[in-house]
Structure 1
Amino acid sequence: MRYDKRTYAHANKWTPEQAAKITVKEETVDDAIAAAKLLKEDPRIDPTCVYLIGHSLGGILAPRIDAEGGDFAGLILLAGSPRSLADILYDQNNAFVAAMDDKDPKKEQTKQWIESEYAKAKRLQDMSMQEALTTTVFGLPAYYLKEMDSKLPASYADRLSKPVLVLQGEDDFQVYPDKDYVLWRELLGGKPNVTFKLYPGLNHFFVDYEGEGENTPDEYNVPGNVSQEVINDIAGWVLKQ
């Protein structure tokens, strides 16, 4: 089952006050839990065999969605991360700056902006409610990031006893195989219920892309399909549970 986020489907219905206070709970978690309930109540579906596939932000939130009421048979984490979103945004912005021409006068200015934003990110939990509601960090509302940081994926790691499949593409330049995937392995690698797989040549969307704009956001402008190997691996893993 797939559906659009409420912030996309009903973007025009949010008041400024509501938009200022939205968190991933309202944006993603609550609806994913409601979707799980809907599926489990469908007489055509075995309620003990409903799995959650979370991609990117969904992969970050999947353990929380499960713990807060999704109660799935298992979790599939695609290009997710146990780190805070601010840490990931810091790395992404630094990668963007590194690719800039050294002669570009905006390069040093951008570096300073990144460090300034990251300094704000480091004190998110100390921000008052009012400051968080009136501050942005890397262009996102601080309130949104503050709430998300209060329930990081790592805090659920010890409680994850159900089957978990962690998948990542080696060519992912948004969520990092050498950081995020490695951290998943450190957190969950000793658990017999967790399976890992890293795919050579696949990007953040699990597409094998070669050509102009490779390893930059430009490659996302070229239509592609999710690797059949990934689809087969997910299906095979679910059927083995």
Structure 2
Amino acid sequence: MTDYDVLRVFCAANGGYGNELGVVRDGSVVPERGERQALAAKLGFSETVFVDDPERGVIDIYTPGDRLPFAGHPCVGAAWLLDVPELVTAAGPVGARQDGEFSWIEARAEWAGQRTLRQYRSAAEVDALPVPPAGEWTYAWAWEDEAAGRVRARGFPGRGEGVVEDEATGTAALLLTARLGRALNIAQGAGSQILTAPQPQGWVEIGGRVVLER
């Protein structure tokens, strides 16, 4: 079995929750795209990262069923693990920095892919939502405190791959931040936390806590 690490990204303040991420630190042991896709499907995480050059931060990202040019929580996790100033993804260069307990990346909304952002009237309404049938990728959200930028959200990938709800979704948070044009403090899933902030020239910062699970 190929060696891999498991991180939890966008953890709560107590280190709990967060979205699990598989990271194969030595991507050369799984060089072919088909092999990587098969391993990502076998591991079953919402995303798995293959590190092709740890010093330059070159990474390759897969869901159980597809290869992604960019994804938020894999980049935040890889930035923390590799401790580099930049990641190189298929979408383009991703700025990275560490700030105390938070790992941050800087990316563009157009890299996020197709997501449906659906606003609800209250956090309680978002909490009560059933998992929708397979179909579009839906980010359900509502203001918890609009003045403070606090958001309650849940992410439903709509994929028939076994990942029915994402615990924390950086790409959807990126799109929501770009749409609203303001910094957000997002509570997603069962207890994860995502921080965001719009930057000049269409960039958005996404930050969160990362822990090494195993």
Higher helix share: 1
Higher strand share: 2
TM over 0.5: no
The higher-RCO structure (CA 8 Å, 6+ apart) is 2
Structure of higher CA gyration radius: 1
Q: TM-score, normalised by structure 2?
A: 0.31
